Structure 1
Amino acid sequence: ISLAIFEGEWTLTRGRHRIIQLLRAFLPAQPPTLIHGSDDYFLWRTSADTAPSQFSASKTSIWFKFGIPKHAFHAWVSVRGRLPKLGNESDESRDHIYLSCSYSRSVWDSFFTQTSFNQPYTFGEVIRWVHHSTPPGKIRTICKLVMQAVFYALWNERNKRFHTSVARHPQLIIKEIQIILKANLYGMDQNVGNTNRISSVRSNPGDRYLHLWFQNFPS
């Protein structure tokens, strides 16, 4: 808020827009004392009953650099439990749609055929898996991308069945996910490579995202 205070006074515009007026109404009459040399930080509150706290995208499995926006948004809605359901049917639970039905299970199984990771079997286990069961760094980023891509593809398949009554073979979903992720990983490597060339840092080919993908996941 340091940019909104000058010489101990608020420096708000004199506009009469209702949002500006609402903002003025909620601000304290006396601006807080600024600590020079320290940066502003934002506090987030998820509900009126919880205390505000700092948010860090690096500590979540949803928002991170190189994430695919539509996959990330869908995963965020899923984690928040806000996906629309077809009534109160038992087979509309997150665990069933994403993990426990035979169709979903076959998609998940395909990504664990050549890894040493502990395979998750519930929605909660998937979230814990990307945080604690995978090594930090690029491998964890790839695992987050896999999680979000599988969630998105399975939900998309669920919706297509609802509207067209046509079911696709799991292998088509798997191949679609692989193509999307490999294209994204290639772009990530190009981005990192351009950054390294600018800074004169030599990259190890074995540490590239795409190399790690072929090393740990089916192609």
Structure 2
Amino acid sequence: MITRINSVPPPVEEAGSDCLLWRHRENDYKAWFSSKNTWNQIRRQGDTVEWSKLIWFSHTVPRDSFIAWLAIRNRLSTGDHTQIWGEHQSCRLCGEPNESRDHLFFVCPYSYTIWTELTSSLLPRPNPDWGITVTMLLSPRRSNTDSCLLRLSFQAVIHSVWRERNSRKHTGVYRTAQQLTRFIDKTIRNRSSLRYKSAEKCSALMIRWMGRNE
């Protein structure tokens, strides 16, 4: 340690004052702090997955994207998971005895009705299969406007259906598929009406969503 200390040249007046620099990347130091760059340096990063495009994007609603992230990783406490805790859960929406992520989204007639009502004009031939739905939503063969609205719809339906399922389980309060569809439709209208960096893009989202069933 003494040898290491002695190897460091002593400070001299000509060198100027010491200054604090924050490390942003390898061999990149700046005078200002970045929580994003600091987090990226200390965390363990995995490979980027293709489905991340469905979860993280500029127009997303945080609460919706979080539940959609849990769903796409199959981490929701559905019946097939709670069975290992000794708790059996059937589908609160349609009565199916074996509740699972793939059943809720969108084999369940309740959630499939909502999904098709909202997206049938944006997503030709909606499929109830989870894997096929995710693959279709990731397809580049549609406009950026339609892709954004489909991702918003995907997340909003997952969050709202999951919330409805929990409401029925814990409070006994029910909403029909038509009521939930109207609620989600209003949510997406409100989201697409917000002003982002590009007013033109915002207008395109609103116009496309409002006119999708014409």
TM-score by length of 1: 0.64
Q: Read off the aligned partner of 2:77 and give its amino acid letter.
A: P
Residues 217 and 127 from structure 1, CA distance in 2 versus in 1: closer, same or farther, beyond 3 angstroms? farther
Task: Verify: 1:125 aligned to 2:126, yes or no.
Answer: no
Partner Cα separation in structure 1 for residue 132 and residue 166 of structure 2: 24
- 1:212 is displaced (CA, Å) by 1.2
SS in 1 for 2:142: coil
Task: Verify: 1:179 aligned to 2:196, yes or no.
Answer: no
Aligned to 1:216: 212
SS in 1 for 2:194: helix
Partner Cα separation in structure 2 for residue 139 and residue 158 of structure 1: 28
Aligned to 1:168: 175
Q: Is the contact between residue 119 and residue 153 of structure 2 (CA under 8 Å) also seen in structure 1? A: no
After superposition, the C-alpha distances for 1:159-212 in whole angstroms (9 at most, x for unaligned) are: 000012232111110000001100000004x5422xxxxxxxxx489x611011
Q: Is the contact between residue 126 and residue 147 of structure 1 (CA under 8 Å) also seen in structure 2? A: no
Aligned to 2:66: 73
SS in 2 for 1:92: coil
Paired residue for 1:111, among 103, 118, 133?
118
Aligned to 2:153: 146
- 1:115 is displaced (CA, Å) by 3.9
Aligned to 2:13: none
After superposition, the C-alpha distances for 1:90-133 in whole angstroms (9 at most, x for unaligned) are: 53211211211111121112124434623121111221121117
Residues 217 and 70 from structure 1, CA distance in 2 versus in 1: closer, same or farther, beyond 3 angstroms? farther
Q: Is the contact between residue 68 and residue 155 of structure 2 (CA under 8 Å) also seen in structure 1? A: yes
Residues 72 and 204 from structure 1, CA distance in 2 versus in 1: closer, same or farther, beyond 3 angstroms? closer
- 1:34 is displaced (CA, Å) by 5.0
TM-score by length of 2: 0.66
Bigger Cα Rg? 2
Task: Verify: 1:98 aligned to 2:105, yes or no.
Answer: yes
4+ runs deviating over 4 angstroms: 42-46, 56-59
After superposition, the C-alpha distances for 1:53-81 in whole angstroms (9 at most, x for unaligned) are: 3x489952100111000000000011111
Aligned to 1:25: none
Aligned to 1:155: 162
SS in 2 for 1:111: helix
Partner Cα separation in structure 2 for residue 167 and residue 133 of structure 1: 37
Deviates more, 1:96-105 or 1:126-135: 126-135
Report the RMSD for the aligned CA atoms in angstroms: 3.5
Stretches of structure 1 lacking an aligned partner (at least 5 in a row): 1-12, 14-32, 47-51, 194-202
Q: Is the contact between residue 98 and residue 123 of structure 1 (CA under 8 Å) also seen in structure 2? A: yes
SS in 2 for 1:187: coil
Aligned to 1:85: 78
Residues 59 and 99 from structure 1, CA distance in 2 versus in 1: closer, same or farther, beyond 3 angstroms? closer
* Alignment length (residue pairs): 169
Aligned to 1:197: none
Residues 115 and 80 from structure 1, CA distance in 2 versus in 1: closer, same or farther, beyond 3 angstroms? closer
Stretches of structure 2 lacking an aligned partner (at least 5 in a row): 1-19, 21-25, 29-36, 84-88, 90-96
Deviates more, 1:158-167 or 1:71-80: 158-167
